[in-house]
Amino acid sequence: MAGMRCRKCHAPAVINMRHHKLALCAEHYLEWFVAQTQRAIEKYHMFGPEHRVLVAVSGGKDSLTLWDVLLQLGYQADGLYIDLGIDGGFGYSKISREKVLAFHAQHPDRQLHIVDVRETYGESVPEVARRTRRGRGKPCSVCGLIKRHIMNRVAREGGYYALATGHNLDDEAAVLFQNVLHWQTGYLARQAPVLEEGEGLARKVKPLCRFYEREVAAYALLRGIDYIYEECPYSVGAKTIYYKELLNQLELKSPGAKHQFYLQFLEARKRGRITFTEDREAAELHPCERCGQPTTAPGLCAFCRLWEGREKTPQPLVATSESVE
């Protein structure tokens, strides 16, 4: 960055975005980041000021940045923290919960929903993973299933217009790369900044999907957002991390490669230059007999099958909007 100047005010720059040919000072970078988020929200018709939005916060930089930016933009954004009960030798869930609570303490006018998996269902994510076939090896498949179920339930029971997640460009490009390598046409049809509401499924949006991970990190740092630096202990060795590394090598040689890869995919699909048909089973969804969420399985959905034989009666996760702190 030595010697680089902010394009707007000529003060020393704190970040240089080669793919945008743009260097900015701290003040103008924060301004740019917030304005770019607003542009993405409008471009993809994510939500408006009249809508209540639920932000899934993990305590990491991406999700807390998202909540922070949405609040700065004046959106009605509430938080949802899911306590997975993961320790990893350093108290991963405990620390991340503290970070989320500390952030929320600065925004007491907004709601924070906390769902503790062990308190609600009787076992933490690693415990369910150890007990069930699906969790053999790594708990990520079980964890993803549980998180999706809870996010969807809280979004719907709480009457939110959309569920927002902090996925950034590096995440999206890695998933796209993975899906292309395996020609996962069903996933390729659905990977998008906005997933419209489906039967029993909340509308999902990703307002940070056009920012590089380092841009989100720079925002969090400059705003002084206190987040958990450690990744989930189970993320080590994840396939997406490997794909991220490959894309980083590409990016090094060809700045802007990830940006182009992801955004040109979206553009080409939008213009009908590439088309994918959804998996056929997607049309055969019906409500789970127990929880009512859509499933392709007969009877119980995969989430409810995790707790078969030991289930408590499902309680609403959002009791009433007044009773939630």
Positions that interact with ligand Q46 (CB under 6 A): 139-140, 143-144, 232, 234-235
Supply the minimum distance, in Å, between the C-beta of residue 291 and ligand Q46.
20
Q: Does 9 bind Zn ion (CB under 5 A)?
A: yes
Nearer to Zn ion, 245 or 289 (CB): 289
The region of 58-66, 189-197, 229-237, 283-291 touching Zn ion under the rule CB under 5 A is 283-291
Pick one of 8, 19, 110, 134: the residue that binds Zn ion (CB under 5 A): 8
Count other Cβ atoms within 10 Å, centred on residue 171: 19
Residue with tokens 């108290």: 91
Q: Mapping DSSP to helix (H, G, I), strand (E, B) and coil, where does residue 288 land?
A: coil
Q: Phi-psi bin for 99: left (phi > 0), alpha (psi -120 to 50), beta?
A: alpha
Pick one of 53, 66, 220, 304: the residue that binds Zn ion (CB under 5 A): 304
Looking at residue 81, its amino acid is Y
Pick one of 14, 17, 23, 25: the residue that binds Zn ion (CB under 5 A): 25
Q: Residue 78: in which H helix or E strand, if any? A: strand 76-83
State how far the alpha carbon of 127 is from the alpha carbons of 84, 85, 141, 145, 293, in Å.
10, 9, 13, 14, 23
Supply the minimum distance, in Å, between the C-beta of residue 188 and Zn ion.
27
Supply the minimum distance, in Å, between the C-beta of residue 158 and Zn ion.
18
- Report the partner that residue 291 touches, choosing among Zn ion, ligand Q46, none (CB closer than 5 to 8 A by kind): Zn ion
Q: Does 104 bind Zn ion (CB under 5 A)?
A: no
State how far the alpha carbon of 289 is from the alpha carbons of 205, 299, 317, in Å.
28, 6, 18
Pick one of 113, 156, 259, 290: the residue that binds Zn ion (CB under 5 A): 290
Nearer to ligand Q46, 112 or 145 (CB): 145
Q: Does 297 bind Zn ion (CB under 5 A)?
A: no
Residue with tokens 């609040």: 71
State the DSSP code for 283: G
Show the DSSP H helices in the chain as ranges.
26-43, 61-72, 92-105, 117-121, 125-131, 140-157, 169-181, 185-190, 213-223, 239-253, 257-270, 302-306
Pick one of 17, 23, 28, 215: the residue that binds Zn ion (CB under 5 A): 28
Looking at residue 122, its amino acid is G
Supply the minimum distance, in Å, between the C-beta of residue 20 and ligand Q46.
28
- First vs last C-alpha separation in the chain: 45
Nearer to ligand Q46, 72 or 235 (CB): 235
Nearer to ligand Q46, 139 or 158 (CB): 139
325, with CB counted inside 10 A (0-12, 13-18, 19+), is: exposed
Supply the minimum distance, in Å, between the C-beta of residue 202 and Zn ion.
15
23, with CB counted inside 10 A (0-12, 13-18, 19+), is: buried
Q: Does 317 bind Zn ion (CB under 5 A)?
A: no
Pick one of 41, 57, 84, 291: the residue that binds Zn ion (CB under 5 A): 291
- Report the partner that residue 140 touches, choosing among Zn ion, ligand Q46, none (CB closer than 5 to 8 A by kind): ligand Q46
Supply the minimum distance, in Å, between the C-beta of residue 314 and Zn ion.
8
Which residues are at the interface with Zn ion (CB under 5 A)?
A: 6, 8-9, 11, 25, 28, 288, 290-291, 301, 304
